[in-house]
Amino acid sequence: MTKPSLLELPLGVQLVYLAEGGANVIYRIVSARSINASKELPVAINAASPGAMDSFSVPPEFKGKLLRLRKDTKSGISYQDITWNFDKIIRPLFKPEELVDQELVYLPNGLVQHCNDQLRAAELSGRRPKRRQGVYLSTTEPYGLLITDMTTFGSPGTILEELKPKWLLQSPSAPVNARRCRTCAYRDMKNNQARKMGTQEERSFCPLDLVSDRFENVLRATRSVKRCKDPKRLAKVLYWNGTMQKILAHQSNHQDVGLHGPSAQSWEESLAMTLRDCTMFIKMPRDETGAVEIRLGDLDLKTGSGGKAKYWLDVERQLISEGWYLGGRSCAPTSECALQGSRGHSQPSI
Tens-digit pLDDT profile for residues 217-237: 999 999 999 999 999 999 999
Same domain, 35 and 174: no
263-282: average pLDDT: 89
Kindly state whether residue 335 falls inside one of the protein's structural domains.
no
- Is 200 a member of any domain? yes
pLDDT (average), residues 263-285: 89
What 3-state class would DSSP assign to 7? strand
Q: By mean pLDDT, which of 30-34, 76-80, 97-101 is the weakest?
A: 30-34
Residue 34 sits in the same domain as residue 136: yes
Same domain, 136 and 183: no
pLDDT of 38 above 70:
no
173 and 275, same domain (yes or no): yes
Number of domains in the chain: 2
Same domain for 125 and 186:
no
pLDDT at position 297, please? Answer: 97
- Determine the Cα–Cα distance for residues 145 and 106; give it in Å rounded to an integer: 9
- Indicate if 73 and 141 belong to the same structural domain: yes
How many other CB atoms are there within 10 angstroms of residue 65's CB atom? 20
Band of pLDDT at residue 244, cut at 50, 70 and 90: very high
pTM for the full model?
0.88
Buried/exposed code over 95-130 (b: 16+ C-beta within 10 A; e: otherwise): eeebbbbbbbbebeeebbebbbebbeebbeeeebee
- CA separation (Å) from 115 to 27, 54, 103, 181, 216? 10, 18, 20, 42, 47
The answer to the question of residue 44 being in a domain is: yes
How many helices and strands in the chain, by DSSP H and E?
A: 11, 10
Query: Is the model's pLDDT at 199 over the cut of 50?
Result: yes
Hey, is 24 helix, strand or coil? Answer: strand
Is residue 61 located within the same domain as residue 182?
A: no
3-class SS at 313? Answer: helix
The parent domain of residue 66 ranges over 7-149
CATH code, 93: 3.30.200
**What is the predicted pLDDT for the residue at 124?**
95
Note the helical H segments in 104-197.
111-124, 182-197
pLDDT in tens, 89-104: 999 999 999 999 999 9
- Residues 145, 165 within the same domain: no
Q: How many CA atoms lie within 13 A of 202 on its CB side?
A: 15
Tell me if 144 sits within 8 A of 302, measured CB to CB: no
Q: Is residue 22 part of a domain?
A: yes
Tell whether 345 is covered by a domain.
no
Per residue in 154-188, pLDDT (tens digit) is 888 899 999 999 999 999 999 999 999 999 999 99
Residue at which a domain ends, from 124, 149, 174: 149
Does residue 63 share a domain with residue 176? no
Structural domain contains residue 182: yes
pLDDT band of residue 59 (cuts 50, 70, 90) is: confident
Phi, psi of 121 (to 5 degrees): -65, -40
Digit-coded pLDDT (tens) for 331-346:
655 568 999 865 545 5
- Tens digits of residue pLDDT in 7-27: 999 887 889 999 999 999 999
pLDDT at 10: 86
Instruction: Centre a 10 Å sphere on the Cβ of residue 45 and count the other Cβ atoms it contains.
Output: 19
Question: Are 270 and 290 within one domain?
Answer: yes
On whether both 208 and 116 belong to a single domain, the answer is: no
Quote the CA–CA distance of 105 and 179 in Å, as a whole number.
Answer: 47
d(C-alpha 12, C-alpha 59), whole Å: 12
Is residue 52 located within the same domain as residue 173? no
Please list, in sequence order, all residues whose beta carbon lies within 8 angstroms of the beta carbon of residue 130, skipping any fewer than 6 positions away: none
Tens of pLDDT, residue by residue over 127-163, are 999 999 999 999 999 999 999 999 998 888 899 999 9
- Looking at every residue in the chain, the average pLDDT score rounds to 87
